[in-house]
Amino acid sequence: EDQVTQSPEALRLQEGESSSLNCSYTVSGLRGLFWYRQDPGKGPEFLFTLYSAGEEKEKERLKATLTKKESFLHITAPKPEDSATYLCAVRTYSGAGSYQLTFGKGTKLSVIP
């Protein structure tokens, strides 16, 4: 069974204090790892897709990296507007043309001014 574990569950940072969120996964046949941002009362907003170990992607203060067992979302010099819940999801191929997307429970990030 595919498993996705995000840590920590919650993270409080001072504005400007860089840190990383972790997404570890146990799957067979990874077909992509997705990062989303979710604000309270809103739907998940797409951030990145990573496909292979060693791949990195950046967007403003965010940088996502991927290894064979985990992904990190690095946040450099965060601002209060970066406060949100960050979701990780893995896509796997389950045969017969069918794909499955499994989400982690998310990390709630709070950035204090």
Partner 1 sequence: NAGVTQTPKFRVLKTGQSMTLLCAQDMNHEYMYWYRQDPGMGLRLIHYSVGEGTTAKGEVPDGYNVSRLKKQNFLLGLESAAPSQTSVYFCASSYSPSSSGNTIYFGEGSWLTVV
- From residue 6 to residue 45, what is the string marking binding to partner 1 with x (rule CB under 8 A)? -------------------------xx-x-x----xxxxx
DSSP 96: T
The least CB distance from residue 95 to partner 1, in Å, is 13
Segment lying near partner 1 (by CB under 8 A), choices 21-29, 59-67, 70-78, 90-98: 90-98
Q: Tell me the C-alpha distance between 20 and 84, whole Å.
A: 14
The answer to whether 65 and 74 are in contact (CB under 8 A) is yes
CB count, 10 Å around CB of 7?
A: 13
- Gyration radius (Cα) of the chain, Å: 14
- Residue 103 found at the interface with partner 1 (CB under 8 A): yes
What are the residues binding partner 1 (CB under 8 A)?
Answer: 31-32, 34, 36, 41-46, 49, 87, 89, 91, 93, 97-101, 103-106
